Amino acid sequence: MIKNYLLLGCLAAQPFFSGAQIDTNIIKNIQSEAINHSQMEMLAQQLMDDIGPRLVGSPQLLKANDWLVNTYKSWGISAHNEKYGTWPGWERGQTNIVMTAPRRDQLDGIQLAWSPQTPKGKPIEAEVIALPMLKDSLALQAWLPQAKGKIVLISQQQVSGRPEASWKEYALEGDYKRYLERKEKALNAWSDGLKAMGTNTHKIQTQLEAAGAAALVSSFWTGGWSANRIFGTKTKKIPHVDVRMEDYQMLYRFTQRGIRPRLQITTSSKHLGPMPAQNTLAEIKSSVNPEQYVMLSAHFDSWDGGTGATDNGTGSILMMEVMRILKKYYPNPRRSIMAGHWGSEEQGLNGSKAFAADHKDLMPKISVLFNQDNGTGRISKLSGLGFLDAYDYFGRWFSYLPEENRKAIETTFPGDPGGRGGSDYAAFIPYDVPAFFLLSNNWDYGMYTWHTTLDTYDKIVWEEVKRNAVTIATLVYLACEEPAAFSRRKAELPLEKGERMKWPEPNDGNRTGEGY
């Protein structure tokens, strides 16, 4: 595996584009527009503030799909929604959580996606108990009847509510070391305890529901200040709420002291039956090679604790902006340019997998695909993903980027395609499409915005997102101008546990939500 950092001085002197006619004025105009006349801030406000989160199966996602189509059309770009299946429909309402004993306190929490509402949206009130760690599955079965009519805490107790970085900065070395040991011990005890009881974080939800629990309370803390991850529930009849770590730990401490706190929970939400699951496609058609494509890729759906700003509102508006700029300064591309805004990525790349499966005839016509997903930072990593000649292409293309963009990108060639992949580029790799994931600089993405209640507009770093628009718009222009399609030659994949790694196989998406 070769790791290299590309430098303009090494690249610019080489005669890279054999037969290609690169118009540096177009590149200059593209890059100037991206930096000086960006429309992304207003696009983000319309998407994240006006429409909000885009959970698959929600009316908000369908509204956002229509907004996408209409926005593209206002720029003179053809766009349409393409249904690939359905998903259980759900619309979030209100969540209110009040501790009524041993004292009264308003708690900070939110219902999980697809949670049933409290009966008729009215309050339920019950005692709170914590899921105990028992010796085996028989002991769990014997305990479960005690959950009937109770609100059950199903997340672990935390050693400290301070992030690890805070301990590292301020604690004495010995105290910090002991904190890490206690933290690891508590995590292992919790995970080993669930395993010993023959259950897990998903299964226990349905077990408690079957036992007659009144509601479930969890707290999926990220380890950062006031940051909780919000996913979906597995319950079908009882409400399930996630409570801020600080409030959850207070409840847990009460139960460990033999005090039975009481909670009053009110949730309203609507189960809407099967709702359309769809992708949105936009296209700038080429009059030169209309059946050859350079593709832009970003998932459009989100979880709905926040408003899906950095996952993946930034990637979505970025691809929109690239299309807008190219339509303005490169309206007659040498290859057609298509942008795919995928649905249900968060549940397993379902929209992009379905698109690839439904358009197998299109896969050989995609010269190269650029995917962006993970946050608000500048593009900082690129792997060749096993395509043997990727080094040559990106080596040439990067020479046209501004120095600060180019030097920020760490490259790994030839790389390997890995397993199923963590974003939509992976849906295309099994069809031999050169599909590349343009990974962003971290900006505390994993700790504070990835799937959390804090993933909102104000976390976007516009200087970085504008740099990404420069990079991707330039790459698309250069890929379109390549005399021939991107090479699909594959490198010999490395050994993994003594066996040669295999190229991923096609895998259709979940088109109904069944079993999720």
Residue 419: its pLDDT value, please? 66
In the predicted structure, residue 14 carries a pLDDT above the cut 60: no
With a pLDDT cut of 70, the percent of the chain lying above it is 96
Per-domain boundaries in the chain: 2-88+274-500, 103-260
Cis peptide before 289 (omega within 30 of 0): no
User: Please, is 403 exposed, middle or buried when counting C-beta atoms within 10 Å of its C-beta (0-12, 13-18, 19+)?
Assistant: exposed
CA angle 447, 450, 454 (to 5 degrees): 80
**Residues 6 or more apart in contact with residue 110 via CB below 8 angstroms:** 95, 230, 241, 242, 305, 453
CATH topology for 103-260 is Glucose Oxidase; domain 1 (3.50.30)
In the predicted structure, residue 327 carries a pLDDT above the cut 60: yes
pLDDT averaged over the chain? Answer: 95
Residue 180: its pLDDT value, please? 98
Instruction: Please give the Cα distance from 381 to 450 (Å, whole number).
Output: 18
Q: Where does the pLDDT of residue 418 fall: very low under 50, low under 70, confident under 90, or very high at 90 and above?
A: confident
| Residue 60, φ and ψ in degrees, nearest 5 | -65, -35
CB 264 within 8 A of CB 123: yes
Element (H, E) at 437: strand 435-437
Instruction: Please give the Cα distance from 487 to 20 (Å, whole number).
Output: 16
pLDDT tens digits, residue range 347-360?
999 999 999 999 99
Residue 176: its pLDDT value, please? 98
In the predicted structure, residue 309 carries a pLDDT above the cut 60: yes
Cα separations in angstroms, 488 against 63, 293, 390, 485? 38, 14, 9, 9
Residue 80: its pLDDT value, please? 98
Q: How many CB atoms lie within 10 A of CB 291?
A: 10
CATH topology for 2-88+274-500 is Aminopeptidase (3.40.630)
pLDDT tens digits, residue range 189-213?
999 999 999 999 999 999 999 999 9
CB 115 within 8 A of CB 209: no
pLDDT tens digits, residue range 421-454?
689 999 999 999 999 999 999 999 999 999 999 9
Residue 431: its pLDDT value, please? 97
**Taking Cα atoms as reference points, which of 2, 18, 26 lies closest to residue 473?**
26
CB 261 within 8 A of CB 255: yes
